[in-house]
Structure 1
Amino acid sequence: MSIEGKRILLGVTGSISAYKSALLVRLLVKAGADVQVVMTESAQQFITPLTLATLSKRPVLSTFVNTNSDRSGDGSWNNHVELGLWADAFVIAPASAHTLARCAAGLCSDLLAAVYLSARCPVFFAPAMDVDMYQHPSTVENLRRLNSFGNHIIRAEHGELASGLIGEGRLAEPETILQTLYDFWAKQESTEAVQALSGKRVLITAGPTQEPIDPVRYISNHSTGKMGYAIARAFVQAGANVTLVSGPTALPLPAPAVTRINVRTAQEMFGATQEAFANADIIVLSAAVADYTPAHPADRKIKKKETSFSLELTKTTDIAATLGAQKQPGQLMMGFALETDNERENALKKLYAKNLDWIVLNSLRDSGAGFGHDTNKITVIDKEEQTYEFALKSKDEVAQDLVSLVIKSL
């Protein structure tokens, strides 16, 4: 995928790392992109508009009305709506904590924020700030909100910061930002061009199960279903017919075209999955199914009486192993393994024991991966033991990677 001819808005905000925006402009222009820089007032304290205008071969914009000498003070209007419609991508790099907060809250106090609110194109935020600012709950929440709006976050990197501290907060290198754009358009082009999944029937399990102890209590786990729902959304976008068997979650339907079957217990999930299995071309088992269930759930609430309380548990049906034994030629199965130790060894055992085509390995030792996060870091191993390692990404991006692996196998 080429960036040549792409129209890119580059937003530069008040951060010491604004000096890197000059190299980013140069790389984008060299790649054939048409670059328009929009700066905040505070950004001009770190790098001059003249530098970026010279590199981009376009006047830098920072105000709604032109009064500066490079535009002869003609009073012409920088139309934020037209800018938002003009661009193929809006990259805000560096994105300061202040800018992240304004955009997350929808505050429109300058040209850059107005362009962001008007943009119909993909928006990429590349944050840059000191480590404590980057890790502060308000910044974390603002990044989460921006991501939930459909924006893309180019995570800050780990290293020495301007304060002298060492940690996450460094602006991603210009080469990394450029590669992110290449990867985005390559995936978009692939999704648009690929017909391999058109008409394919995909069965996906997601979320936790709840195993009743009595009418009030149950055994469960920390799964939110976010990963499975993202996978369902990605397969629909690739043209597949998707059936989602979902344990209890607070998530909305991932896409209107998804057929969702709601279940509660491991046995219910097994029954629904078994029923849909024979007609499925691709099966993705991402649910966190309980391994054990109470042997004799009470029909009334158990009262607190004794100092200790014993609960007899019995094994649930192993959905992956059962379906793997029934798998027919042409069917493809992907399972998940969340591990805390001996990760690869345990994942390989599961891959072969359950007759899977891929095993998606998560490690709870990886920061930002596992239950509850909007991000995930995975390693995928196929039945030939070929390994695909992926960096920490949003779960929607991880889902796209998994769909791409399936498409390649077809």
Structure 2
Amino acid sequence: MPKPRVVLGVGGGIAAYKACEVLRRFSESGHDVTPVPTASALEFVGAPTWAALSGKPVASDVWSQVQEVPHVRIGQTADLVVVAPATADLLAKAAHGLADDLLTNTLLTARCPVVMAPAMHTEMWEHPATQANVATLRSRGIVVLEPAEGRLTGKDTGKGRLPEPVEIYEVAADVLARSRTGGATADLAGRRVLVSAGGTREYLDPVRFLGNRSSGRQGYALARAAVARGAQVTLVAANVDLPDPAGVSVVRVETTEQLRDAVVAGAKDADAVVMAAAPADFRPASFSDAKIKKLADGSAAPLELVQNPDILAAISHERARPGSVVVGFAAETGDATGSVLELGRAKLARKGCDLLVVNDVSGGAVFGSADNEAVILGADGASVEVPRAAKGVLAHAIWDQVATRL
């Protein structure tokens, strides 16, 4: 089977050097990569670098190797086009169909999925012209990632930073894989989704807390998958030590009450909410400003707990956005009252959500693992079994069910 053909377009921004890492990851994972930098990009990273990393000659204009008609051939034969960084100028040209160099000609002739990773100063990203161009590109099925927030050129800080190369690669590779297997690549375009991830902490004192084993990996996989399908994603992350997924707006929280506040606020604008986080059911009734000491007689200090708010039930029974889809997770082990699935079905009815993803976590399975397996139960009686596979596979299976209900 031939290697998938990836075109890496590189715009003329200071972040062009980061595209070298995107190229390396595609090459090392078995892709045939053709770099197409603009003339401005070559001012930041020279042609010899791109040629050495790809093993191919590099040009930015349409006059090199004219006999091979590169301005048409490169786009026609591509399986995926990734543009990183995509400058404001490139976004404008792509939105308006301008073609004055090799990259913009390639974008016009490509009939494959296109992923664009913008990078520019905050004011340029927020300008109405740029936002209109992004909306136009997204309406055509192009995946335009949201820029990251952080240090920009010089001393400036804000939204407009290029997402980390490994995360750009993960999203782009996901788009390519789905397109090659016939999966939808933009069925969530124009949708706003909210995903929660991780496990909350309930503090007893400045040192100790009550928590759980959730790593946040499944929630992060859901966020990446939604981005790859064209959605605008907000990720509420509770105590997660993972890199921010490309194109995702991340809200960081610690406690269950903070998680509730962030989810309730985000649900107002969300077409779908997926509660993959594991909130603590209980919290200490009081917080000690000083570290709690051992008792002199060696006995255990009593710990009074109070129940935390039920976030999933609250957003399911009182929909902030009519027609939205709410998805919950249930980590079950089964007990004397019922099997894992029986307990899952009871929880689905009790919570009032549209879908419930039921995990059998007996023996600590799933937590921290790169793989997952589950049964997706629907309030309409549907039941979809997802065999053990990478967590991204389960993520797409969940979004498949969400998309059919939106």
Residue in structure 2 matching 1:358, options 352, 355, 358: 355
How well do the aligned residues superpose, as a CA RMSD in angstroms?
3.2
Cα distance between partner residues in 1 of 2:260 and 2:395: 23
1:329–1:85 Cα change, 3 Å: closer
**What is the aligned partner in structure 1 of residue 300 from structure 2?**
308
Amino acid at match of 1:227: Q
**What is the aligned partner in structure 2 of residue 285 from structure 1?**
275
Structure 2: gaps (5+ residues): 5-26, 34-54, 56-77, 81-166, 171-175
Residue in structure 1 matching 2:324, options 326, 331, 334: 331
Cα distance between partner residues in 2 of 1:300 and 1:238: 48
**What is the aligned partner in structure 1 of residue 341 from structure 2?**
344
Counterpart contact for 2:194–2:272, Cα < 8 Å: yes
Post-superposition, which runs of at least 4 consecutive aligned residues in structure 1 deviate over 3 A?
81-87, 148-151, 183-189
Deviation at 1:365, TM superposition (A): 3.2
Counterpart contact for 2:3–2:31, Cα < 8 Å: no
Deviation at 1:310, TM superposition (A): 1.2
**What is the aligned partner in structure 2 of residue 319 from structure 1?**
311
Instruction: Encode CA deviations 1:128-177: one digit per residue, 9 max, x unaligned.
Output: xxxxxxxxxxxxxxxxxxxx9989xxxxxxxxxxxxxxxxxxxxxxxxxx
**What is the aligned partner in structure 2 of residue 239 from structure 1?**
230
1:299–1:277 Cα change, 3 Å: same
Instruction: Encode CA deviations 1:24-52: one digit per residue, 9 max, x unaligned.
Output: xxxxxxxxxxxxxxxxxxxxxxxxxxxxx
Cα distance between partner residues in 1 of 2:276 and 2:323: 20
Secondary structure of the corresponding residue to residue 330 of structure 2: strand
Percent identity between the two aligned chains: 34
1:84–1:386 Cα change, 3 Å: closer
Deviation at 1:394, TM superposition (A): 0.7
Listed as ranges, the matches of 1:113-262 within 5 Å are 189-192=182-185, 194=186, 196-255=187-246, 257-262=247-252
Amino acid at match of 2:304: E
Secondary structure of the corresponding residue to residue 190 of structure 1: coil
Counterpart contact for 1:337–1:347, Cα < 8 Å: yes
Cα distance between partner residues in 2 of 1:231 and 1:225: 10
Cα distance between partner residues in 2 of 1:275 and 1:206: 16
**What is the aligned partner in structure 2 of residue 91 from structure 1?**
none
**What is the aligned partner in structure 2 of residue 70 from structure 1?**
none
1:379 and 2:375 equivalent?
A: yes
Instruction: Encode CA deviations 1:229-284: one digit per residue, 9 max, x unaligned.
Output: 110110011111111111011111022x2111101100111111111111111000
1:187–1:370 Cα change, 3 Å: farther
**What is the aligned partner in structure 2 of residue 299 from structure 1?**
289
Amino acid at match of 2:294: K
Amino acid at match of 1:220: G
**What is the aligned partner in structure 2 of residue 142 from structure 1?**
none
Counterpart contact for 1:85–1:121, Cα < 8 Å: no
Instruction: Encode CA deviations 1:35-89: one digit per residue, 9 max, x unaligned.
Output: xxxxxxxxxxxxxxxxxxxxxxxxxxxxxxxxxxxxxxxxxxxxxx8995569xx
Counterpart contact for 1:338–1:370, Cα < 8 Å: no
Deviation at 1:385, TM superposition (A): 1.7
Cα distance between partner residues in 2 of 1:84 and 1:340: 40
**What is the aligned partner in structure 2 of residue 95 from structure 1?**
none
Residue in structure 1 matching 2:397, options 392, 401, 408: 401
Counterpart contact for 1:197–1:240, Cα < 8 Å: yes
Q: How many residues in Structure 1 have an aligned counterpart in Structure 2?
A: 245
Deviation at 1:324, TM superposition (A): 1.1
Cα distance between partner residues in 1 of 2:233 and 2:374: 23
Cα distance between partner residues in 1 of 2:355 and 2:180: 21
Amino acid at match of 1:339: E
1:220–1:121 Cα change, 3 Å: farther
1:394–1:150 Cα change, 3 Å: farther
- Structure number with greater Rg is 1
Counterpart contact for 2:190–2:231, Cα < 8 Å: yes
Cα distance between partner residues in 2 of 1:274 and 1:314: 21
Deviation at 1:187, TM superposition (A): 6.7
Secondary structure of the corresponding residue to residue 350 of structure 1: helix
Deviation at 1:386, TM superposition (A): 1.2
Cα distance between partner residues in 2 of 1:357 and 1:272: 20
Instruction: Encode CA deviations 1:208-228: one digit per residue, 9 max, x unaligned.
Output: 001000011000000110000
1:265–1:185 Cα change, 3 Å: closer
Amino acid at match of 1:385: G
Instruction: Encode CA deviations 1:178-217: one digit per residue, 9 max, x unaligned.
Output: xxxxx9556754233x3x3112110111100010000110
**What is the aligned partner in structure 1 of residue 259 from structure 2?**
269
Cα distance between partner residues in 1 of 2:214 and 2:306: 21
Counterpart contact for 2:275–2:329, Cα < 8 Å: yes
- The range that moved more, 212-221 or 246-255, is 246-255
**What is the aligned partner in structure 2 of residue 132 from structure 1?**
none
Cα distance between partner residues in 2 of 1:82 and 1:273: 39
TM-score (norm 2): 0.55
TM-score (norm 1): 0.55
Secondary structure of the corresponding residue to residue 303 of structure 1: coil
Deviation at 1:403, TM superposition (A): 1.5
1:311–1:381 Cα change, 3 Å: same
Cα distance between partner residues in 2 of 1:83 and 1:280: 35
